[in-house]
Amino acid sequence: VEIHTPKIIGGASEGGSEVFTLDYFGQEACLAMSPQLHKQMTCACSGFERVFETGPVFRAENSNTRRHLCEFTGFDLEMAIHEHYDEILDVFSDLFISIFDGLNDRCSTEIERVREQHPFEDLVYLRPTLKITYAEGCKLLREAGIDQDDLEDLSTLNEKKLGDIVKEKYGTDFFFMDKYPLSVRPFYTMPCPENPKLSNSFDFFIRGQEILSGAQRIHIPEFIEERAKAWNIPLEDIKAYVDSFRHGALPHGGGGIGLERVIMLFLGLPNIRKSAWFPRDPKRISP
């Protein structure tokens, strides 16, 4: 079911500080950096079970890089889990394979026009998509002589290096890792039942750059409050969200995709601004 969620909200979507704030008739508000909380409410608490949204996402990150935008088009999906967390991974794997196949089948002429201006190698991807754990990815980096701890977040540089290693070892530009450290994921992420230091979360990568982040979510209100307190998130800011789970919620999870970044990496473009009509970055607010 397609949904449309508000882009003006109270507090931060994911408990982060990198949001655009505004005065909403005397109340503190911000532009949504994710439809996260609302898609959970509609998926797990309202009987829809599978929902998606395509819409604007706002990030107040002062990042002047070739892969960051302050406003981009997000594709978000959330789904109920019936048996196992891996159901989410399978859906996203099939989704991306369908996207890549569709682009190659229906847009071959346009792709060749882009290649004339920006030469690139076709994206190589496997069926099914390659899956490795976060620990396995860290081990691959260490085996290549790169310092990376299993419980520390990956730097952008190490992500790119891992992409090169995976391409050489497995012959694919597209893969995903799961079981990330719990400490580097948002407050609503479900811990791993086998190891409380890890989480049921994942990232998908194209050419060594992350294009999707997702996880199983916590659906027990008392546990959500416990995790929010650990992140120093005022419970009043997420009261409506937590209350939506008090009458029962299905186990669920999902993720969000930055579509401009997918286009940039699929086409091997040198800068994400070439995949946006009117890019917004820390130094550009017009036209």
Strand partners, 132: 177
8 Å CB contact between 196 and 223:
no
Separation CA 268–CA 250 (nearest Å): 39
User: Given CA atoms 45, 47, 50, 52 in this order, what sign does their dihedral have?
Assistant: negative
* DSSP conformation class of 123: P
What residues act catalytically?
59, 61, 67-68, 210, 213, 261
Separation CA 212–CA 114 (nearest Å): 24
Separation CA 233–CA 186 (nearest Å): 11
Q: What is the DSSP string of 184-244?
A: GS-TTBPBPSS-TTBBSEEEEEETTEEEEEEEEEP--HHHHHHHHHHTT--GGGGHHHHHT
Phi and psi at 187, nearest 5°, equal -65, -30
8 Å CB contact between 180 and 202:
yes
Instruction: Looking at the chain, list the stretches that DSSP marks H as alpha helix, in order from N- to C-terminal side.
Output: 36-44, 86-106, 108-117, 134-143, 156-170, 221-230, 239-243, 259-266
